[in-house]
Amino acid sequence: MKSLLSAIYSDSRVRYLAIGGGTFLVELAVLFAAQAAGAPGTLAVAISFIIGTALSFLLQKIIAFKDRRFQKKVVFSQALLYAALVVFNFAFTVLAVWLLEQYFPVALIRTVALATTVIWNYYLYKTRIFNKNI
């Protein structure tokens, strides 16, 4: 069992997906907590999104891609690239829904868009954003 867990943990794809799923659960918890504290829905979503995005960045960097570089220049450039990717993913998703909602259910479009962004995010994190050889 220990060797199976070790093998699973050694795969950055598994760590990446586990962190993504865990971060989503944290975002939901923050969303519900903010609403329970009286925050309006838009503020609750904004708070959970910001916390989730920051947490995801740190955990993907440190755990999924084992990037332990914390020099200001490195982290700043990584954070900028990460933020640009978040904005691009958002625009891609909104555009996909806008183009396809007359043909498919919005939830299906969002799910396919999410799966697509998960794939290219992994590639870009591994080869560009958290690549220690660049």
Each residue's pLDDT tens digit, 3-51: 767 766 789 999 999 999 999 999 999 999 999 999 999 999 999 999 9
For the entire predicted model, the pTM comes to 0.89
- As a whole number, mean pLDDT of residues 58-81 equals 97
Cβ within 8 Å of residue 27, ≥6 positions away: 48, 49, 51, 52
Taking a C-beta distance cutoff of 8 angstroms, is the pair 47, 30 a contact?
A: yes
Residue linked to tokens 């960097």 = 61
CB 68 within 8 A of CB 60: no
Tell me how far apart the alpha carbons of residues 18 and 56 are, in angstroms, rounded to a whole number: 11
